[in-house]
Amino acid sequence: MKRSIGRRRFLELSAITTAAVVGTTVGEHTLFDAQKAMAQSALYTPPASNRVDTLIDVGWKFHQGDVSNAQTPTFNDSSWSGVTLPHTWNNIDGENGGNYYRGISWYRLHYTIPTAYAGRRFFLQFDGASLVTDVYVNGTYLGEHQGGYTTFRFDATAALKVGSDNVIAVKVNNAFNTNIAPLNGDFTVFGGLYRNVHLLVADNVHMQFSDYGSSGLFVRQTNVSSASATVGVTAEVWNDGTTSQNVTVQTIIVDASNTIVQTLSSTQTLAAHTGAHFVQTTTIANPHLWDGQSNPYLYRVYAQVQVGTSVKDLVSVPLGLRSYSIDPNKGFFLNGHYLDLHGVNYHQDHIDEGWAVSDAQVDQDFNLMIAMGVNVIRTSHYQHSPRFYDNADTNGIVIWSEQPIINGILNTTAFTQNAEQQLTEMIRQNYNHPSIIFWSIANEVGNDSATNTLLQALSNVAHAQDPDRITTLADDTGTFDNVANHTNTVGYNRYYGWYTGSYNDWGSVLTNIHQSFPTRSFAISEYGAGASIYQHQANPTQPVPASASHPEEWQALVHEAAWQAMASRPYIWGKFVWVMFDFASAGRNEGDHPGRNDKGLCTYDRKTPKDAYYWYKANWTTAPFVYITDRRFVTRTTATTNIKVYANTSSVTLTVNGVSLGTKTSTNHIFIWSNVALQVGNNTVQATASQGGSTDTVTWTRQ
């Protein structure tokens, strides 16, 4: 397999001899000599550097299918379709059920490099392309990347011509590949250049571009408390020039107001065509902690790569200082205090767009999740976009970040190498995001010898890349078998009331797991039920999951029972609903739409939160609100009905056709009025919350 990435591990970086730190210690601050007189309250202004990051998402030509010689500059692509990135060729066939195109497609772009960039280095960066990507520039083959979810780069310096037309040709193949995870999964594998593509322009002296798609800057935090935090900075720097250079890395840590907190500096001599690791350590006194949603406070770390006083490159990453732990009996702790982690699993596709979503759509998804009260997200089942992790950082959402080992493996060297590669890419590319606390190495795999060997290898990779975060995986057994022994903690995917058993089983199952393994921590990483907003039953019975009937009311009952069982058991350190939004799964044909997994708390188009969405909002948020359930069950045939309301207030008053039916109280956010008479024709039902005056109104028609 050809790829443009080298193999390094974080522990190896940490073991390299630390370059001398030039500076003077003043209290807890180490200051660069030239800045000793600078007041500690000084604001930081990032200097100009020779790095340029340009999106090249416009002007592409696209052809579905393989074409001979499409990589040659003179190839005639005039008949190809014009597309703008992000782009997928499966946005329609991938969401409608049955077979969808999985194979080769081509992209071509004519692009002129400005003459002002003469003498610079050029790199092509792909934020995500599915599944195998081969890149050519002016007919020169740059290399291949295998894996559909991670960032990768190729050095295009020798192939690109400054000041004249260049042809960038990209072959993308999303066909099933035995060497590449995922081999299986309950979701559509959309093909294409479905995330942004960049042209990176750099000086000969620059941060490392070929380290698994990472930024080359790693900021490790240890011994974090309200009193102090130890911060270690590793900057990977490369000299692509023909002569040696005396290089300084100046690291500036600023707080949320952009005020300088620490300034560090190291200098090394880099020979031509070689690199080095600049390792710096400091202590921040009385740090402002990143404390989840209550206070998602972010510092920022800037690394200036300088030759003399000239800034050749500049990279910045977020820094959120926090500590965390899991107690098998007490649950999850952030910065020493208990935090009930409750949230959702999340797939990245949108209706009619597949995986080719915009930053605005990612923002929209976060708004819907936060409004429901989510404080943790599991990235099912792969690395998500840079925008996703940035949003999690700034909004204080804890992240379980997962790599795409799903449902099974192949016991081959090629598959193992690719699994290790994708895991390493995920960790190195996202190492600095404070929101990420869990690295997940797999989901629902077998318990055979080959699988356990691979899982242990992946666990070793994860701990070598990041010695500090918690490793996990999702199992579907409900017991601590061999699979669950490879990681620090484990999550269980259980579907009582849907695929197995009754939703009334939750309490006994959870108690049994905890009592059987009192020294082991666990989460419920998946639970839920399907639901169509167009299908309703007054007194629903448990559906057959693969059937065409998925009444919305049954989903609500499943979630009511599951959450009430989990909420009273703090030792379950995380509760993850499957799933936030309906999503494409080409192999399914159930509910009201083929090709769709309808277990979402919100519809695929994001327009309609289901009843269960408001059940969680009632439990997870505090701003007063009230919600009448069964609201889409608008046509009624019976003379009486039960009316159920969700609210996060202590009492709710109900009126029907202007007549008050009284006020009810509740200790579980569920308010029920039984056997309410409905008149023939339209009936107006209104619920009013006792606090805040929030109201909700629906109209039902009795035939």
Q: Stretch 503-526: mean pLDDT, rounded?
A: 97
Residues 529-578: pLDDT tens digits? 999 999 999 999 999 999 999 999 999 999 999 999 999 999 999 999 99
* Bridging pattern class, strands 60-64 and 104-112: antiparallel
Residue 234 has pLDDT above 90, yes or no: yes
Instruction: Decide if 444 is catalytic.
Output: yes
Residue 621 has pLDDT above 70, yes or no: yes
CATH number for the segment(s) 10-42+208-319: 2.60.40.10
**Is the pLDDT score of 5 beyond 60?**
no
Check: CB of residue 188 under 8 Å from CB of residue 95: yes
pLDDT (0 to 100) of residue 317 = 98
Asked if 593 and 530 count as a contact pair (C-beta separation under 8 A), the reply is no
pLDDT in tens, 395-452: 999 999 999 999 999 999 999 999 999 999 999 999 999 999 999 999 999 999 999 9
When mean pLDDT is compared across 35-39, 356-360, 681-685, the lowest value belongs to: 35-39
- Give the mean pLDDT of the chain: 94
Q: Is the pLDDT of residue 600 over 60?
A: yes
Cβ atoms within 10 Å of 67's Cβ, excluding its own: 17
| pLDDT exceeds 60 at position 639 | yes
Q: CA–CA separation, 685 vs 697, rounded Å? A: 6
* DSSP-assigned states of every residue in 39-82: -TTPBP-PPP-S-EEEE--SSEEEEES--TTTTSTT---TTSEE
Instruction: Give the residue with greater pLDDT, 369 vs 36.
Output: 369
pLDDT in tens, 236-266: 999 999 999 999 999 999 999 999 999 999 9
Rounded mean pLDDT, 207-229: 98
In contact, 63 and 81? CB cutoff 8 Å: yes
Q: Is the preceding omega at residue 131 within 30 degrees of 0, hence cis?
A: yes
Quickly state the pLDDT bin for 27 (edges 50, 70, 90).
very low
d(CA 342, CA 339): 9
Q: What is the pLDDT of residue 36?
A: 38
% pLDDT > 90, the chain: 93
> Residue 207 has what pLDDT?
98
DSSP E strands in 255-373: the ranges are: 260-270, 274-285, 299-307, 310-319, 324-327, 331-334, 337-338, 341-346
E strands, 58-215, where? 60-64, 81-83, 104-112, 121-126, 132-137, 140-146, 152-155, 165-173, 197-202, 205-207
Contact 251, 303 (CB under 8 A): yes
- Domains 10-42+208-319 and 635-702 equal at CATH topology level: yes
pLDDT beyond 70 at 12: no
In the CATH hierarchy, which fold is given to the domain comprising 635-702?
Immunoglobulin-like (2.60.40)
| Superfamily holding 324-621 | Glycosidases (3.20.20.80)
Mean pLDDT of 266-274: 98
In the chain, where are the structural domains located? 10-42+208-319, 53-207, 324-621, 635-702
Indicate if the pLDDT at residue 13 is higher than 70. no
Rounded average pLDDT over 680-693: 95
> Tens digit of pLDDT for each residue in 305-334?
999 999 999 999 999 999 999 999 999 999
Catalytic residue among 95, 236, 353, 444: 444
Does residue 360 register a pLDDT over 90? yes
pLDDT (tens digit per residue) in 137-149? 999 999 999 999 9
CATH class given for the domain over 53-207: mainly beta
The pLDDT score that the predictor gives to residue 478 is 87
From 32-46, 281-295, 487-501, 654-668, the region with the lowest mean pLDDT: 32-46
What span, in angstroms and rounded, lies between the C-alpha atoms of 101 and 103? 6
Phi-psi region of 658 (alpha: psi -120 to 50; beta: other; left: phi over 0): left
Check residue 219 and give its pLDDT: 99
Distance of CA 621 to the CA centre of its chain: 22
Residues 447, 451, 452, 455: is their CA dihedral positive or negative?
Answer: negative
Quote the pTM value.
0.95
- The answer to whether residue 172 scores a pLDDT higher than 80 is yes
Dmax over CA atoms of the chain, in Å, equals: 89
Paired tokens of 489? 């903690």
Q: Is the pLDDT of residue 209 over 70?
A: yes
